[in-house]
Amino acid sequence: MAGEGATQKASKRRRPPTIGTGKFKPLISAAEVVDRLVAEAPLPEWRPHQDPVGELVLTLLSQNTSDTNSGRAYQQILARFPDWDAVIAAHVNEVEDAIRVGGLAKTKAPRMQALLAELRGRLGDDWDASLLRTMPMPEAKEWLISLPGVGPKTAACVMLFSLGRPALPVDTHVERVSKRLGLLHAKVSSFNAHDLLEGQMDSELYYDYHVAVIRHGRRVCKAPLPICDRCVLADSCPSAFFAERGGPDGATGKRARAKRAAKRSPKKPAGRPLRS
């Protein structure tokens, strides 16, 4: 019996978190989030981006940088090399130099070459990725995630923006805003966030939710502190009720602590810093 009880406890600990079981419960649905954000500012119409291979490369370049910088790096790759085979054959230093404007070139260059080499091995010399258009969605996602350096966000970007198939990419902004709204448990991993969010709305809303929430996260629901007095979701956001305490989820943010400490501390006269 003791062993059975221990097993039950262990299974409870391993059980994945579900929506609304954390500090906050959602006060608003994903569909209403879209309605409010789109009413505030209409979204651009969906248009296909790159081919699947190009979208994979562009998404890799977009990691930890701005859209502007990643776009420049992608254009530099296209200008420097005649095709993807040439990128694979090039010395890694050449690839680094081409994408340097996008940041983290020493990390991204070898990853890009490994990704492209794997894609050529799977797709053949013609780089035909049309099989992703007809694969069942779970198989297509698994095919993409099994590529080196590709996670669920990159896979979803390819499915949504290149192939026009229903997938919801969850980047850092989407994850942060969704957790502050209580639509995701605070401890849900980025990997699991995709399926949990997709399950809360019709597939027709995936593009709208992704684009609208990213824009909202960049402009209003910022990290580390949101601008709640400008937020059209604030009256239905449990985190907004705690923003005065210094941060979302009732946590005291570093910036808020620094501001309060500065108010309490007497101003020091200006002078040359002391050397230790």
Q: Which of 23, 25, 106, 153 is catalytic?
A: 153
Name, in order, each residue with C-beta under 8 angstroms of 72's C-beta and a sequence gap of 6 or more.
101, 102
* Residue closest to 32 by CA, chosen among 160, 165, 243, 212: 212
Interatomic CA distance for residues 8 and 206, integer angstroms: 36
Distances (CA, A) of 38 to 3, 106, 162, 169, 234: 53, 39, 23, 18, 15
* Residue closest to 34 by CA, chosen among 174, 243, 185: 174
| Cβ–Cβ < 8 Å for 112, 142 | no
| Cβ–Cβ < 8 Å for 149, 115 | yes
Instruction: Say whether 153 is catalytic.
Output: yes
Interatomic CA distance for residues 201 and 170, integer angstroms: 14
Residue 262 structure tokens: 């500065």
Q: At 95, which amino acid appears? A: V
Interatomic CA distance for residues 45 and 34, integer angstroms: 14
Interatomic CA distance for residues 54 and 158, integer angstroms: 9
Q: At 191, which amino acid appears? A: F
Query: How distant is the alpha carbon of residue 51 from its chain centre?
Result: 20
| Cβ–Cβ < 8 Å for 205, 48 | no
Name, in order, each residue with C-beta under 8 angstroms of 68's C-beta and a sequence gap of 6 or more.
none
Q: At 225, which amino acid appears? A: L
Catalytic residue ranges: 153
